[in-house]
Amino acid sequence: MTTRTAETSPLVYARVAGVLYLLITVAAIVAHFYVPSNIVVPGDAAATASNIAASESLLRIGGIGSELIILMSEIALSVILFVLLEPVNRLLSLVAAASRLAMTAIHGINLLNYVFALLLVSGAGYLTVFETSQLQSLVMLFLDAHSFGFTIGIAFLTLHVFLLGYLIFRSGYLPKVLGILFLVAGLGYLIDSFALLLSSSYETTPVVITLAIAIAELAFPLWLLFKGVNIERWKERALVSAPQRERSFGHSSGKLPHVAD
């Protein structure tokens, strides 16, 4: 039974990671594209506030609800990717997981901007001290803050993507081309996120960057879902890295890493 588990566990983790990636992709389309396009009217605070008031459930379910699904999936995905790539380099795999979790934490806190926008159009009695135009302007302010908060989170994801590409390329149990795609996507994330944050004239992501990111972010989960990992090569890397990992924890049992037990 132990041998069978050792052979199938990496493949199971790969399948779960693929499902989580695709779940995140679908939820992100709703939360980051569909909802804003149906609520935000650029440059028109009054129309934007009116849209939120008229479609409160869209922002609650499509915006906040979908984002919560993304965040919970990101936590699980970060851990699973760490387990899958730990045999390549434990330290770099840990840093990659930490950077993705940092993005997740930032995006979680960033949801408060949506909550503030909803409160401002709620008609609560304590809001009567504000003029209507002031409330509308504050709604737009918090939506803009949400956009910047999202970009700050993506800046942390950049480190994860670069390390993910490197670890995949060096793994031997995943195609090198996937690693190359992520290195290119990492460059796209880097340029896009830092330009959005540091340059007031940069407003729209170039198509070439969008394509580079989309190809990597779709090719990897589809490969994990339908092909998985080369189990024998994964076991070989795990056996080589096991003694070093056990020494770091003060063990000398010589057993396989926990994921393969």
Q: Enter the tokens of residue 161.
A: 């993507």
What is the rounded CA–CA span in Å between residue 63 and residue 52? 11
Whose CA is closest to 162, among 216, 90, 219, 105?
216
Conformational region of residue 178, where left means phi above 0, alpha means psi within -120 to 50, and beta covers everything else = alpha
Domain residue extents for the chain: 2-161+220-256
What is the rounded CA–CA span in Å between residue 139 and residue 44? 11
What is the rounded CA–CA span in Å between residue 170 and residue 191? 24
Give pTM, 2 decimals: 0.87
User: Residue type at 129?
Assistant: V
pLDDT value of position 61: 96
What is the rounded CA–CA span in Å between residue 37 and residue 27? 15
Show Cβ contacts of residue 226 under 8 Å, excluding neighbours closer than 6 positions: 18
Q: What is the pLDDT along the chain (261 residues), one digit of tens a residue?
A: 444 444 448 999 999 999 999 999 999 999 999 999 999 999 999 999 999 999 999 999 999 999 999 999 999 999 999 999 999 999 999 999 999 999 999 999 999 999 999 999 999 999 999 999 999 999 999 999 999 999 999 999 999 999 999 999 999 999 999 999 999 999 999 999 999 999 988 888 899 999 999 999 999 999 999 999 999 999 989 888 766 555 554 544 444 444 444
What is the rounded CA–CA span in Å between residue 122 and residue 111? 17
Q: How many residues would you count in the chain?
A: 261
Whose CA is closest to 26, among 254, 155, 218, 219?
218
Whose CA is closest to 122, among 5, 130, 159, 199?
130
